[in-house]
Structure formats: C-alpha cells, structure tokens
Amino acid sequence: MRTINRKLVRDISNMWGMVFVIALMITCGAATYITFLSTLDSLKETQQSYYQDYYFANIFASLKRAPNHVAIQIREIEGVNRVETRVQSGLNLEVPGFDETVTGMIISLPDEREPILNSLYLREGRLPTPYVDNEIILGDGFAEEHGFTAGDQLKTVINGKEKKLIIVGIGLTPEFIYQGQPGSLSPDLKRFGILWMRRAPLAAAYDMEGAFNNVVLSVTREANTQDVITQLDQILEPHGGLGGIAREDQNSHFFITEELNQLSKTATIIPTIFIAVAAFLLNVVVGRLIRTQREQIGILKAFGYSNQEIGLHYLLMVSVIVIIGLIGGVILGYYLGQELSALYASYYRFPYLNFVINPWDVLAASVISAAAAYSGVFFSVKEAVTFPPAEAMRPEPPKLYHRSLLEKLGAARFLDQPTKMVLRQIGRQRVKIAFGVLGVAFAAALMIVGRMSNDSVKYLIEVDFRQSQPFDLGVSFRESISDHALMEIVRMPGVYYGEAYRGVPVRFTYEHRNHLTAIQGYPQNMKLRKILNTQEQPVEIPQAGLLLTEKLGEILNIETGDTLTVEFLDGSRRTTGIKVTGFINQFIGLNGYMNIEELSKLLPERHVVNGAYLLVNKSYEDEITKELTDSPFVGEIISKQKIIDRFYESTAQTWLIMSLFISLFAGATAFSVVYNNARISLSERSRELASLRVLGFTRGEISYILLGELAVLVLLAIPIGFLLGWALTWFIVWSMQTELYRIPMNISRATYTLAAVIVIFSALLSGLFVRRKLNRLDLIGVLKTRE
C-alpha cells in the first residue's frame, strides 16, 4: 500500500466521529429517498399487475333490472371485450360483539365458473358450491378486522329476511381495493363488508331470476370508453340504467389513484427536500473537514506531491465516507421501503406486494450524495493548494478580530472575557456560523414537514367536521321519501332537532370538461350543516343558483356567473343548465350545493328528501341508531364522532410511523450538524482553549466558550427553522392538492415545540460528546507547537 493511502486509512480511523456523522447524513438522505421512491414504485407495480392478472373491468353499470338476454346486446357494442352480468345489492350484517351498524354489499359469482372480470383472489378456503344458497366468500379486509375465517357463520339481513351464511372462503378483487362506504374518508374495513354468493341463490333472494342489475365490461385496447358507455347507457335506459361509469370514476380505482397520486407527490417532494438538505450539509461539512487538513496539504506539497495527487487523496477519503453512507442508506432504504410498502399494501388491501427497487433511484441518490461531497472537496482542496507550501504548513495567521456589535452598543462593561470571546468568534466567522445555523434550521424544518400530515389532517377534521357539520347523526334513506318522514324521526326520544336534505347524483359538464358527483339540496338557514366560503366563514345557500367546491370549479374551469350543464343521474335523466353563484371551501370531496326547493323544481318528484341530519342527546345515540337501523326506509346512519374516530383509527398508524421515521432522520441531521460544528470549532480552537486551561481555567469555564457559541447557533437556528418549515410545508401543501383532498395549511404548536425540543436535544447530545473531547485536551502539546 502506498504511504499516502495508508495515511488515508489512518486519517479515517482517527476521525471516526466526523466520518460517522457525515456518513450518517448521507445515510439519512439516501435512505429517505430510496424508501419513498421504492414504496411508490412497488405500489404502482403491484396495482398494475393486480389489475392485469385479475381482469379489472373498464366499465361499471348499475340498473334496476334487465333480463339476461340484454347481455347479448351489450356484447355486440363495438369495442367490448368481455361482459359479466351480475346481481348485487346492499345488505346489513351482524357481527357478534360489535354493536355498530355494519353494512355491506353482496355480489353474485357465476354459478358454474369463475368470474371473467374482477376475478377473486382467494386468500383461504374455496369458492361456494354452485346453487347452494348459504355459502359465501367474505372480503378479506372485513374478515381480518373481525377475525372471521373460513368455516365461520355470518348473520345477515338479505332483502329484509334474516339469513345465516357460512363463510367458505376469504377473498378480494381489484374492484374493492378500497373498501368502504361510498363517501367515507378512509377505508372502513370494520363497518363495511363485501360478500360473494353464487348467482342462482342470490338472484332468488332478490327476485332477480333470469335477470341482472349490474354489469361490468372490459374493452379492447382501441375502443373509446366514452362511446361504449354512451351505447351501453342507451341499451340499459329502458331497464332503469343509472349510467355507466368508466374505470377512472370507479370508487375504488378513483380513491386508490388519488392516494397514489398523493403518495407520489409526498414520495417525491419529501425525499428530494431531505436529500437536498443532506447534500447541502455534506458540502459544507466536507469543505470544513479538508480545511482542517491545511497543514498536511502544505507538507504533502512540500514533499513534491502534485495538486492532482492531493486532490485525489482527499477525493478518495471522501469517497470512502460517501460509500459507507450510501451502503447504509441503500440497506436502510431497502428495508424501510419494504416495510412502508407492506404497510400501504395492507392498508389498500392488495393481495400481494411486488416489491421493486428501481436501480435508477439508487443511482440518483448516489450521484446526488457524491456530487455534493465532491464539490465540497473540490472547492476546499482548490483553496488549500493555492497557498505556497511553506505558508500552508504554517497554520492560518492569527485572525483579526473586532469588537462585537453588542460591545459597540455599549454592553462591553457587562460582559466578561469568555463571553466576549464567544461573541467575537461569531462575529468573525459569520459565514461559517450562517451555514451552521442554516443546517440546524433545516433539521428543524424537516421535523415540521414530517409532522405535516398529522397537523393538517387534524385541522381538516376540526374545520370540516366539527365546525361545518354540527350534527351528531347523519341518516340516508334507501329511497327518496316524503319530507314528512322527518317529523317522525324528530319525534323519537332523544332527538332534539333534525333537518332533511336531498342529494342527487349528477354529471356536471362545462365546455368539454365533465365531472360525476352529486348536488346536495339544503333548506334555507340550515343549522346542522354549514357551508363555508373560501375564507372558511359560514355562508347561506342562495335562493337560486349553485355553489361549487372551489376545487371542482378549478377542474371544470368555470367561474361565478357561468352556466353549468347538469345531467341528473337519478333515473329521470333530465338535463338542465344551472348558474354557478359562488365557490365554497371543502377539504374533502367535490360537490355542488343548492336550495332544496330550487333543486326539487328541476326533478319529477317534489317534497321528497333522501337524507337527514340530527342533533341528539349523546346518551341516546346508540338507541336511536338501533331504532333507525331497524326502520325499513333507512339506508345508512353515520355518527360524526364515529367517522372521526374511525378516520384517526385507520390513519393513525401510518402517521405515527411516517412521523417517527422523519423525526428520527431530522434528529440525526441536527445531531450531525451540531456535532460537526462543535468538532470543527474544537479543532480550530483547541490551542486557545488549552492555553486557558493552563492559565487556570476549569473545564466548565472553557466548555462555556466553545459550547456558548453552539448555543447561540442553535438558538438562532430554531426560529429560522420554523420559518423554513412553514415555507416547505406551504410548498408541499400547494403541490399536493388532489381531487379528493385539499390539505389545509396548518402547523400546530406541538409540532413547533417538538421540532425545537429535538434540535435542542440533539445539540445537547453533541455538546456532551464534544465536552468529553474537551476533557482530554493536550495541555502540553499545545504549548510546544507554534500555532
């Protein structure tokens, strides 16, 4: 081994503390990058292969009832590939020991074969025996939540009759990756189950023999889906067709796509910020490391080493650190990527996970880290080799200091000499301190970004639920019923007050853009449901015209005063133009709102409602729920409190993990920056500090001089970190808006506090490490050598 390489090995082992923190930064940056991007790649890959392998349909349509031979007509539509007709219906389920309302959907399986579209992935058990009327497959999410396995029984109410079913298998399909009641915020695996039964017995139970009420289609690659839907709608219209839905608008697919879109933004923005911060810090830190080697560079030059050889030497030194960091980053990223993908995969109910790690992501992480490190080497080596060797061997001449600002302002009398030293050091090394402050500030900012989802969603729930939805229970009716029905509900014991509404599914069209959603018709002066304007202030529903969610306005590119074409999808299939009178603020979902009476005028039936909001005595809530569940006209009951609880329940784990993960990385970054600063200061000032020890200063007194500087640095960094965190959060919120959610900008006090605490804790920890080094200062050596 050449001696210069031996020097390399020894230098690295002597500076292991510094090597460790620099490698740690690279590890954190690269691991975050790889974790998020591999998670994203894996989920997309898994979704694609799941759709393909299990024949996920392209078009979905529900109708009242059509005889089976209509399927032949459907099959003849140009561009249609496969057609599967089905019988499906909503039903109530009873889970022993779980006394909340549980609803579900039961779907038919062809009697003597497997479905050719939306195939079942059987996790356990077998398919139901053909023509047997009490065997079902149960959706795996629901089964898992309640601990059902093949062989268990499930009590249901099918078409008004109680029926005990035997679970013969547990399965899932690409149609229900997202399992939840339509309109809910998050998958609800506990309160919504999917069941599959053979066609003949199911048809018998719903009086659907020889007929179907649901059809799914796949189309050829060349087919125009919209044309196929138009023709399908024409065929189904006489049979009570509710309009075909393309895959893009299918509930589960839409949700999962939105989620993946959102994840893809998180998965790009957060690691990019992390690796950029790591790269910046790396550059600074490596530069400093090399500056401490100034004398050695002088000696090497004096011996006749060329600038290139010296450059190469330090390049090698940094390469070793980069490689250590990257190996750590790739291993950690690979491991965490698998964990995070698995977490998401189970959240979305994918049957399997194809974990992929894109070599390009690994390469990108490596290139970014290496580039940052090497540019640090390049500039500092370049600076070091420009000195003639004799000068470089001499350590830098004593620096000229100046009185600090505080002293110039007249505080000099009150400051002791050590404090003056701290202040003047800061004053002289403004750039160095600024970089340190920025580094620590970034660490604090990363913490704030890491807690963003937590804060924002809490805020969303506060605003969207507690403020704009003051009701306790929301009831939707199976069918439109007379508005007098509300009177009966309000008369129930424990109900204080109720308000009814009417919701109608619609297709909004403006110019060439359209969107499937619903119009909610609300009465004047509604109290249990507040519509908030874009400033989050409650507004009244206008007498005439339509209010749209702000985001929906953006999608349709429509402005106040424009007339929107509205096609009612309730069976009446009327089309009309309605003027948009304003926009409202709504974080979740896209809807239109209008006066219930105005809405009714546009529809065949007047004076009907299909839902109500209730204010109830909390202690009667369960009783009221029970009574309403038994009522034949009530479809679904939602308890606001339970929706909120459920939402926290389903997302809490993901948040916790993400938040922990990012906090850990941010903490490590803060530690690295502070430690690095302290180490460099120590090596620059060890002579000074040792001299003071010789003069009789205690360890505590000299620690004050060194760590005082760090304390100022950290204290400056925290408010700057808050600002940076705020800015980064704003940027992420802005870039992460999706159709499903608009994330509100909110950073809680707890987050700021936590960020400060983590930074201070990391600083104290590195202070402690440096303090140990201070205790071992070489008092004699320092006196014998010239500075």
Partner 1 sequence: MPSLESNVPIFSAKGLTKVYQMGEVQVQALRGIDLEIFSNEIVVLLGASGSGKSTLVNILGGLDTASGGRVTYRDIELTHASEKELTNFRRLSVGFVFQFYNLIPSLTARENVAIVTEIAENPMTPEEALTLVDLGDRMDHFPAQLSGGEQQRIAIARAVAKNPDVLLCDEPTGALDSKTGIVVLKALQKVNQSLGTATVLITHNVVIGGMADRIINLHDGRISNIERNEKKISPDQMTW
Q: Which residues make up the interface to partner 1 (CB under 8 A)?
A: 397-402, 416-418, 420-421, 424-425, 428, 687-688, 691-698, 701, 779-780, 782-787
Residue 601 burial class via C-beta count within 10 angstroms: exposed 0-12, middle 13-18, buried 19 and up: exposed
User: φ, ψ for residue 689 (rounded to 5)?
Assistant: -70, -40
Angle at 452 between CA 450 and CA 454, to 5 degrees: 105
* Residues 6 or more apart whose Cβ sits within 8 Å of residue 155: 93, 94, 96, 162, 163, 164, 165
Query: Closest CB to partner 1 among 279 and 422?
Result: 422
Minimal distance in Å, beta carbon 435 to partner 1? 20
In the bound complex, what is the minimum distance in angstroms from residue 413's beta carbon to partner 1?
12
Among 157, 413, 379, 198, residue whose Cα is nearest residue 290: 379
Nearest to 469 by CA among 549, 520, 530, 536: 530
In this structure, the strands spanning 88-95 and 98-109 are antiparallel
The runs of H, that is alpha helices, within 183-250 are: 199-205, 225-236
The CA-to-CA distance between both ends of the chain, in Å, stands at 32
| Nearest to partner 1 of 7, 424 (CB atom) | 424
Rank residues 3 and 417 by Cβ distance to partner 1 and give the closer one: 417
Render 348-373 in DSSP notation, one character per residue.
HT-SS------HHHHHHHHHHHHHHH
Q: How many Cα atoms are found within 13 Å in the side-chain-facing hemisphere of 150?
A: 12
Tokens standing for residue 293: 């080697």
* Least distance to partner 1, CB of residue 698, Å: 5
* Mode of pairing for the β-strands spanning 98-109 and 192-198: parallel
What is the chain's length?
Answer: 787
If the CB atoms of residues 432 and 687 are measured against partner 1, the closer one turns out to be 687
Minimum distance of partner 1 from residue 695's CB (angstroms): 6
Q: How far is the CB of 299 from partner 1 (least distance, A)?
A: 19
Q: Which is nearer to partner 1, 538 or 700 (CB)?
A: 700
Query: For residues 204 and 196, what is the distance between their CA atoms, to the nearest angstrom?
Result: 14
> How is residue 542 annotated by DSSP?
P
Taking the complex as a whole, how short is the minimal distance between the CB of residue 696 and partner 1, in angstroms? 3
Residue 662 Cβ vs partner 1, minimum distance, rounded to whole Å: 39
Nearest distance from C-beta of residue 441 to partner 1, angstroms: 25
Strand partners for 410: none
Q: How far is the CB of 412 from partner 1 (least distance, A)?
A: 10
Q: Residue 192: which residues within 8 A CB-CB, separation 6 or more? A: 102, 103, 104, 105, 142, 179, 180, 181, 184
Residue 331 to residue 348: CA distance in whole angstroms: 26
Q: Which of 556, 629, 559, 568 is nearest to 604 (CA)?
A: 568
Smaller CB separation from partner 1, 6 or 399: 399
Please list, in sequence order, all residues whose beta carbon lies within 8 angstroms of the beta carbon of residue 144, skipping any fewer than 6 positions away. 189
Nearer to partner 1, 509 or 691 (CB): 691
Query: Cα torsion at 379, 385, 387, 391 (round to 10°)?
Result: 120
**Which is nearer to partner 1, 72 or 695 (by Cβ)?**
695
Task: Closer to partner 1 by CB, 416 or 479: give it.
Answer: 416
Residue written as tokens 């974080």?
587
Indicate the residue among 209 and 787 with the shorter CB distance to partner 1: 787
- For residue 403, the minimal CB distance to partner 1 (Å) is 8
Q: Which is nearer to partner 1, 17 or 418 (CB)?
A: 418
Shortest gap between Cβ of 397 and partner 1 (angstroms)? 7
> From the CB of 433, what's the least distance to partner 1, in Å?
14
Cβ closest to partner 1, residue 113 vs residue 786: 786
